[in-house]
Structure 1
Amino acid sequence: MDVKTAVKQIKQGQVSPLYLCYGTEKYQIQEFVGMLQDQVVDRNQRDFAMASFDLAETPVEAVVEEAETLPFLVERKLIVVRDSAVFTAGKEGGKIEHKVEALLAYIDNPAEHSVIVFVVNGEKLDERKKIVKAMKAAGTVLSFMPLGGSELTQWVVREVEKRGRRIGREAAEALVAACGVQMAALAVEVDKLCLYAGEGGMIDIAVINQLVARTTEQNVFAMVEHIAALKLEQALDIFYELLKQREEPIKIAALIARQFRIMLQVKDLARQSYSQQQIASQLGLHPYAVKIAGEQARKFEQAKLKRILSDLAQLDYQMKSGGIDKVLGLEIFLLKLGA
């Protein structure tokens, strides 16, 4: 089952007694658990109707015992369980020994008065484990992975509209480019921009440029984008601004090299017919970063990218060995690249 279907069912009152949420997108998982909490538990009864556990500190049989215990003064309770390694590959890092058989027995006959949500912050479950197979058969297993480029932009637009403001697609893309792909950070910036815009206000690119501070990584990302578009003046402006912020030239060079390395890897994998999602998984990157890197890479031949990386390696050696002034060396590299 996908997340949208699960949310729709919950809002219609069809709540599963068992949920297993896994994935790398923690913000989406928190949103889902919060929505489930609002649907299952009365706001004034949360002291009696909610419990939380961490399996790194608590044996799983204690969770089962809590779930089987009748709730006090409420009809149903919600139990949120942070998982360490019960559902994933590898051994427990702590000293807690879990009697997984107790949970397997509970899954076969869950209590009607309890809803358990297991939260696993990991990309994969261990499909070989009986407990994972049992959850898939009897419970609701939901995957929360990073959104793709267009999905992330649509999410920004929806979040702005929820708050009674407006934003265009280009402005949403500019926000993602400025802030990055982490949804928690994006949500904070959306709140700030909506507060500035006011009820019914419009958030445009000018407002985003004014209010959203770019990280060093995002500034370098934008610099490379300007270079790829042959906008040398804008690229140098970002470089000089980074120097004003006392960023180390060697760090800037390393981040530039990282972006060009990603471009080369994306170009190579795309030639082998890998999909965007497959490339993201292979390189351990967000799909949006792969999308942008792919667009940048199309402006360079593969041989050119290799030469740029070779030049950056040589520059790195010269900067670290004192063979060239760090700022001057990086400036000359950017001028040659832009030319």
Structure 2
Amino acid sequence: MAAMDYKQTMKQITKGQFAPIYVCYGSETYLMQQFIQRLTDTLLEPDQRAFGVGRYELAETPLEAVLEEAETLPFLAERKLVVARGATFLTGAKDTGKVEHDLDRLAAYIKSPAEFTVLVMTVDADKLDERKKIVKALKELGALVPCTLLGEGELVAWLEQQASKLGFTFAPGAAQTLLQYAGTSLQALEKEAEKCSLYVGKGGTITAAQLGELVTKTVEQDIFQMVESIVQLNLEQAFTMLAELLRRKEEPIKIVMLIARQFRIMYQVKDLQQQGFSQQQMAGVLGLHPYAVKIAAGQASRFEAKRLTAILEQLGELDYQMKSGRIDKVLGLELFLLRLGA
């Protein structure tokens, strides 16, 4: 058997169909939390949840102790949930922890798991080491549940699903605008969706224009929008955004650093595109969300590689001049934007 599909597994759990062991792995910890919450809600009655869930950190607790807990009969309940976080021994990463884990004991447990326990191990890693016997055994059991970052289409669908649960809708294109403003963290997006719901009320529709007023943007997101304005040759908008950042007392050197980061990503994406990398592969190489790569690729298409190199050199020089006091910081930033627009 291969890894289980996250959505399919969630549906099975909702129907009361449980596997004895799950291994949740990937970078999207929000999905892991939702998975454990769904298991808790379906597996245990509300009055059993306080003592029906055992939580362990494998960096501090040996696997043997976790499995002993799994094999101990539940207290005042038919079933129990045992959650063990940080199963790095399932990855290719070197285990630097001081705790030793008995993987033979886990292999024996996999062959004969306790009927009254659901054991969940989590690991914050995009891949498990499938050369390891223990990973092969877990895969054979169908216990692997990938909790990977969602693509742009999946993120939009997830946002629309959240909106439906909260009783409002996104106007066409507004969900994509929310991704641009708030980023791709599901936790942050969940909070923004709740805010939208309160703003428009039950049955309401949120528009892209309203999101501009409503969403709490990080400095990184603001810089991203400012660079987007520059790329679209909308200098007036770029200067308005710069004025707002300065009004909020953001340090000009930090603004330069973040602008440079965005142009560096554009340069790297352009370079990798020329080498034939797909957006998914680029995301892996650069450690970015595929959606961020897609946006950067769109921005990079407006520039020649030589122009991007020149812009990065200008930013390096501006950073030096600012730090050495050779130019007024705000003036330096404004001159850079004017030169870029020209």
TM-score range, shorter chain: over 0.9
Equivalent position SS for 1:189: helix
Deviation at residue 178 of structure 1 after TM alignment = 1.2
- Which piece of structure 1 moves more, 155-164 or 91-100? 91-100
Deviation at residue 195 of structure 1 after TM alignment = 1.6
**What are the equivalent positions in structure 2 for 1:56-135 lying under 5 Å apart?**
56-135=59-138
| Partner residue in 1 for 2:55 | 52
Match of 1:275 among 273, 278, 302: 278
Match of 2:203 among 200, 204, 207: 200
User: Structure 2 counterpart of 1:219, which letter?
Assistant: D
Contact 2:5 2:145 in 1 (8 A): yes
Deviation at residue 12 of structure 1 after TM alignment = 3.1
| Partner residue in 1 for 2:294 | 291
| Partner residue in 2 for 1:240 | 243
- Which piece of structure 1 moves more, 6-15 or 52-61? 6-15
- Which piece of structure 1 moves more, 146-155 or 218-227? 146-155
Equivalent position SS for 1:95: coil
Q: Does 1:18 align with 2:21?
A: yes
- For residues 213 and 112 of structure 1, the distance between their equivalents in structure 2, rounded to whole angstroms, comes to 47
User: Structure 2 counterpart of 1:294, which letter?
Assistant: A
Match of 2:187 among 184, 187, 200: 184
After the TM superposition, list the runs of 4 or more consecutive aligned residues in structure 1 that deviate by more than 6 angstroms.
Answer: none
**What are the equivalent positions in structure 2 for 1:213-228 lying under 5 Å apart?**
213-228=216-231
- Which piece of structure 1 moves more, 190-199 or 223-232? 190-199
- For residues 154 and 27 of structure 1, the distance between their equivalents in structure 2, rounded to whole angstroms, comes to 16
In structure 2, the gaps of 5 or more residues are: none
- Which piece of structure 1 moves more, 27-36 or 16-25? 27-36
Deviation at residue 189 of structure 1 after TM alignment = 1.2
Deviation at residue 127 of structure 1 after TM alignment = 2.5
| Partner residue in 2 for 1:326 | 329
Contact 1:23 1:144 in 2 (8 A): yes
- For residues 5 and 302 of structure 1, the distance between their equivalents in structure 2, rounded to whole angstroms, comes to 44
User: Structure 2 counterpart of 1:193, which letter?
Assistant: C
Match of 1:29 among 18, 29, 32: 32
User: Structure 2 counterpart of 1:24, which letter?
Assistant: S
Task: Provide the identity percentage.
Answer: 53
- What is the Cα-based RMSD across aligned positions, in Å? 1.5
Equivalent position SS for 2:88: coil
Q: 1:255-310: CA deviations, max 9, x gaps? A: 11110110111111112221111000010001111011011111112221111112
Match of 2:149 among 126, 146, 168: 146
- For residues 142 and 51 of structure 2, the distance between their equivalents in structure 1, rounded to whole angstroms, comes to 24
Q: 1:206-239: CA deviations, max 9, x gaps? A: 3212221211111100000000101000001001
Task: Count matched residues.
Answer: 339
Contact 2:30 2:186 in 1 (8 A): yes
User: Structure 2 counterpart of 1:154, which letter?
Assistant: A
Q: 1:92-117: CA deviations, max 9, x gaps? A: 44432222221110011111111001
| Partner residue in 2 for 1:266 | 269
User: Structure 2 counterpart of 1:325, which letter?
Assistant: D
- Which piece of structure 1 moves more, 171-180 or 130-139? 130-139
Contact 1:87 1:125 in 2 (8 A): yes
- For residues 278 and 12 of structure 2, the distance between their equivalents in structure 1, rounded to whole angstroms, comes to 32
| Partner residue in 1 for 2:41 | 38
User: Structure 2 counterpart of 1:292, which letter?
Assistant: I
- For residues 187 and 99 of structure 2, the distance between their equivalents in structure 1, rounded to whole angstroms, comes to 31
Equivalent position SS for 2:230: helix
Deviation at residue 73 of structure 1 after TM alignment = 2.5
- For residues 50 and 216 of structure 1, the distance between their equivalents in structure 2, rounded to whole angstroms, comes to 39
Deviation at residue 169 of structure 1 after TM alignment = 4.1
User: Structure 1 counterpart of 2:149, which letter?
Assistant: P
User: Structure 1 counterpart of 2:174, which letter?
Assistant: A
Equivalent position SS for 1:186: helix
- For residues 91 and 223 of structure 1, the distance between their equivalents in structure 2, rounded to whole angstroms, comes to 41
Given the two structures, how large is their TM-score scaled by the length of structure 2? Answer: 0.95
Deviation at residue 201 of structure 1 after TM alignment = 1.3
| Partner residue in 2 for 1:161 | 164
Given the two structures, how large is their TM-score scaled by the length of structure 1? Answer: 0.96
- Which piece of structure 1 moves more, 231-240 or 27-36? 27-36
Equivalent position SS for 1:14: coil
User: Structure 1 counterpart of 2:167, which letter?
Assistant: G
Contact 2:321 2:327 in 1 (8 A): yes
Contact 2:24 2:123 in 1 (8 A): yes
